[in-house]
Each structure stands twice: as structure tokens, then as C-alpha cells.
């Protein structure tokens, strides 16, 4: 596990509406030639979940400035997510705050956070790429896929990472969807479920899963960075 003490974690506040703020954390070099990464959480947990903290540590250790944040509902301790419009409002403000520190930003997220990031990119939010860990294509308890027509409006590279046992991202549905998107790639992690083995209480399996995910993400992130800079 990377040692976060070597990369001080800096608190920040995302003012997503006048007088309304949510906490955020930045980790990694203040100045870097690599894209900064905005890493959003899933619906069931805020930025303190081991998935977010572990991935943030690893990406920061590789030289990226990484920011996590809480959506408004998580910041006040509610379990039910905010409406998509509110999530987007907060996510957009978080992206703006990070872009003030690093002009090139990649949008990444776990489950719901990745879905919101994709909507933000589809609406034209400046970013170098969109990275979705466990895209929730099928809502919990449903069998039909969500409307994904917004993905067709995204003009930057996209990466979808799913576990082979992820019931919210069935390969029979996600595979053809990604194949239709000209700048999208799909990575399947064998044996992983929607959580990628990362639980509320960290264990060796979860740490190994995070190592793998970070490696896949870093490999892919170099692609958008090269494209942006003509390399």
C-alpha cells in the first residue's frame, strides 16, 4: 500500500452553490505535466471509502494530482443520492475547482460517480478523458439498461472497467455499447464483482484489486495525455 504521508493530503471546499459547500481532498503534486484526476464516489459511500482513498493514493503516487469530493447528500450523512441535476451541479463545481489548479483534467468515478462524470462530459465539460469503474448500466433490482444516449455526445476517450461478475454492468449489454462508441475501450477484470473486491474494511484482496485498477487506469491515462499533446 502506498504511504500517503509522502504526499500530503490537502483539504478543500467545493462551493457548488453560493453558501453551500462540500468537502474535498487533494493528493499529489501541485504541479505536474500529467492530467489531474477528479475521482467521484459511488452512490453508497463518500470519498472516505477505501476504494476512493486507495485509488487516490495510488494515482497520486504515480505523479497525478487527484481530487475526491463528497456529493451534497453524502456530506450531510444522507444515504439516498441527490437528483442527477444536483449531482451534476456539484460535480461541475468540483471540476472547476480542480481545473483552477491543473488546466488538464480527466474525469473518473466509481459506479454512480462515473455515470455522473459521463453526463458532465456529454454536456461539454472540458476534460481529457472519462474513466468509469463499474459503470452502473443496469439499476439495482432492474433488468433493463439505463438510457445511455448521452454517451454518443462525448468527444474524448473513454475507458470502462468492469468486473466479470458485475451484475450492474452485464457484458452482454455493456460490450456492444462500448463497441458502438468510437473512442471507448472496455477492460474486464476477471473474477471481480461491482466492488472489485474493495470492502469497507480493507483486506489483502481489496488492496490487490486496487493495485490492478490503478495500473490499468495509469496505462490508459497516458493515451489521452499523448493525444492531447500530439505525442
Q: What pLDDT does residue 190 have?
A: 96
Q: What pLDDT does residue 8 have?
A: 86
Q: What pLDDT does residue 2 have?
A: 47
Kindly report the pTM of this predicted structure: 0.93
* Average pLDDT by stretches of 10, the chain with 231 residues: 61 97 97 95 95 97 97 96 98 97 96 98 97 97 95 97 96 97 96 93 91 96 57 35
Q: What pLDDT does residue 229 have?
A: 43
SS (H, E, C) the chain: CCCHHHCCEEEEEEEEECCEEEEEEEECCCCCCCCEEEEECCCCCCCCCHHHHHHHHHHHHCCCCEEEECCHHHHCCCCCCCCHHHHHHHHHHHHHHHHHHCCCEEEEEECHHHHHHHHHHHCCCCCCCEEEECCCCCCCCCCCCCCCHHHHHCCCCEEEEEECCCCCCCHHHHHHHHHHCCCEEEEEECCCCCCCCCCCCCCHHHHHHHHHHHHHHHHHHHHHHHHHHCC
Give the domains, in start order, of the chain with CATH numbers. Answer: 4-225 (3.40.50.1820)
Amino acid at each position: 500500500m502506498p504511504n500517503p504521508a509522502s504526499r500530503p493530503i490537502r483539504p478543500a471546499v467545493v462551493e457548488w452553490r453560493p453558501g453551500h459547500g462540500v468537502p474535498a481532498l487533494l493528493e499529489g503534486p501541485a504541479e505536474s505535466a500529467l492530467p489531474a484526476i477528479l475521482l467521484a464516489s459511488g452512490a453508497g459511500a463518500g470519498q472516505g471509502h477505501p476504494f476512493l482513498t486507495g485509488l487516490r493514493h495510488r494515482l497520486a503516487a504515480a505523479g497525478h494530482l487527484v481530487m475526491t469530493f463528497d456529493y451534497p447528500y453524502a456530506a450531510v450523512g444522507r444515504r439516498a443520492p441527490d437528483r442527477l441535476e444536483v449531482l451534476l451541479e456539484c460535480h461541475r463545481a468540483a471540476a472547476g475547482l480542480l481545473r483552477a489548479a491543473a488546466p488538464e483534467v480527466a474525469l473518473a468515478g466509481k459506479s454512480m460517480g462515473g455515470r455522473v462524470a459521463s453526463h458532465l462530459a456529454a454536456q461539454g465539460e472540458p476534460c481529457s478523458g472519462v474513466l468509469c469503474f463499474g459503470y452502473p448500466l443496469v439499476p439495482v433490482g432492474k433488468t433493463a439498461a439505463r438510457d445511455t444516449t448521452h454517451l454518443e455526445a462525448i468527444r474524448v476517450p473513454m475507458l470502462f472497467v468492469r468486473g466479470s461478475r458485475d451484475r450492474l454492468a452485464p457484458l452482454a449489454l455493456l460490450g456492444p455499447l462500448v463497441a458502438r462508441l468510437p473512442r471507448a475501450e472496455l477492460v474486464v477484470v476477471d473474477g471481480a464483482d461491482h466492488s472489485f473486491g474493495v470492502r469497507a474494511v480493507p483486506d489483502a484482496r481489496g488492496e490487490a484489486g486496487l493495485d490492478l485498477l490503478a495500473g490499468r487506469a495509469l496505462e490508459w491515462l497516458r493515451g489521452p495525455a499523448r493525444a492531447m499533446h500530439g505525442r
